[in-house]
Amino acid sequence: MLPTYPVHYTVERPTRFSRLQLLIRVLVFCALGAIGVSFGLAFIVGFLALPIFAAVRLTSRGDKPHAYVAEDGPHVISVLRWFAALSAWVGLVADELPRRSPDEIVQLDVDPDAKPTPGSALLRLITGIPSAFVLALLGWVGAFVWLWAALSILFTKRVGAGAFNYLVGLQRWSIRLLAYQASLVQEYPPFSFTDSVGDRLMHEPSGLRSHA
């Protein structure tokens, strides 16, 4: 499944992380928490809203339902790229927020291959639940990994490969699931952290990797 899965998420591990950026994250979390908002809630909203959005757009296209993937798909992918970049910063996968383009932080490649209908789009509100449930369990563990990574940044300005790969895996899982919920891809997202393209890029810090 993985070598041909149409959603690829890759990111390079920073050589060093900024303590100031870590402090900004904590302040943002506190500010959002004070009004009852979290990034987990943002994911849930996306999980529920994307199938509904796809169904509405498919219905509006009448006898041209496949135009959704061709015409709306690029806009949805653009939103997913920005969400992936923001989530990478929140999740201690990237050190800074992108300034101009999400490609500064992450590489997200989506090859849309779905042929959805309004009914199949809404059905993903149900079929996506098993993947979301497992992601929630892994995310609970990920909260402790995030804390460990934050302490590592505080004392060493680095995140170990094991913690980094786990946090990247959570990001990859969530983005695959959202692409599925948006009816961009036909195949169910794999229950895996790995990526046939991305794994070879994320084990070494970016500062130690030569660039052609």
Q: Is residue 179 part of a domain?
A: yes
Rounded to whole angstroms, the Cα distance separating 190 from 73 reads: 21
pLDDT at residue 95 in the model: 93
**For helices 19-34 and 73-90, what crossing angle results, to 10°?**
110
Domain span at 108: 2-199
Query: What is the mean pLDDT for each group of 10 consecutive residues in the chain (212 residues)?
Result: 78 92 92 84 94 93 77 94 94 92 92 91 96 96 95 94 95 96 94 70 44 39
Could you give the number of structural domains in the chain? 1
pLDDT at residue 199 in the model: 52
Strand partners, 110: 7
Instruction: Tell if the pTM clears 0.95, that is, is over it.
Output: no
Closest CA to 178 of 70, 65, 45: 45
Q: Is residue 209 part of a domain?
A: no
Q: Is residue 207 part of a domain?
A: no
Q: Is residue 212 part of a domain?
A: no
pLDDT at residue 174 in the model: 96
Rounded to whole angstroms, the Cα distance separating 188 from 168 reads: 20
Q: Is residue 79 part of a domain?
A: yes
List of residues 6+ apart from 195 with CB closer than 8 A: 2, 8, 9, 10, 172
Query: CA 170, 174, 176: angle at the middle one, nearest 5?
Result: 120
Q: Is residue 23 part of a domain?
A: yes
